[in-house]
Amino acid sequence: MKKIILALVLILPLAADTSNFSRSVGQVTLPEGLSAVPTSLTAVSSVDSWIFQITVNNSTSGSVTFTVQDQQGTPQQLVGETIPANTVQIISFPSGVKMIGGIKWVAGATGVISEIFGSHK
């Protein structure tokens, strides 16, 4: 049994080797803290940005749509969700998602607050 445990201790770090995985992400953190999400599509960032996590809180009594998209020529939607009433959702992107041209967001009603954790160059 000791030999099996020792073998796993020695082998598992090798199996998890990510030295060949590389991503160049931004060096400047996006503004931190919760913000009211506007009800018209609004820029959060206007330069290439990386998103690692989005926390969104719908404190209203009804479901509300929440959208996050990039700002490239033909915008690509990253998040398009209906957030149930009185709910907090955490959307995680462990390796990060590059948002070309920046980030825009919108909520379908007032009362939605959110934070985007990420960075830009």
- Domains in the chain: boundaries: 33-120
Could you tell me if 74 and 68 are in contact, meaning their C-beta atoms sit under 8 angstroms apart?
A: no
Confidence (pTM): 0.78
- Model pLDDT, residue 31: 81
- Model pLDDT, residue 103: 97
More confident residue, 23 or 68: 68
With a cut of 60, say whether residue 21 has pLDDT above it. Answer: no
Total residues belonging to the chain: 121
- Model pLDDT, residue 121: 81
With a cut of 80, say whether residue 11 has pLDDT above it. Answer: no
- Model pLDDT, residue 41: 98
With a cut of 80, say whether residue 80 has pLDDT above it. Answer: yes
Separation in Å, CA 99 to CA 41, 74, 118? 15, 12, 10
Q: How do residues 87-96 score in pLDDT, each as one tens digit?
A: 999 999 999 9
Q: Residue by residue, what is the 3-state secondary structure of 85-106?
A: CCEEEEEEEEEEEEECCCEEEE
Could you tell me if 79 and 68 are in contact, meaning their C-beta atoms sit under 8 angstroms apart?
A: yes
With a cut of 70, say whether residue 5 has pLDDT above it. Answer: no
33-120 fold: Jelly Rolls (2.60.120)
Separation in Å, CA 87 to CA 83, 120, 121? 7, 29, 32
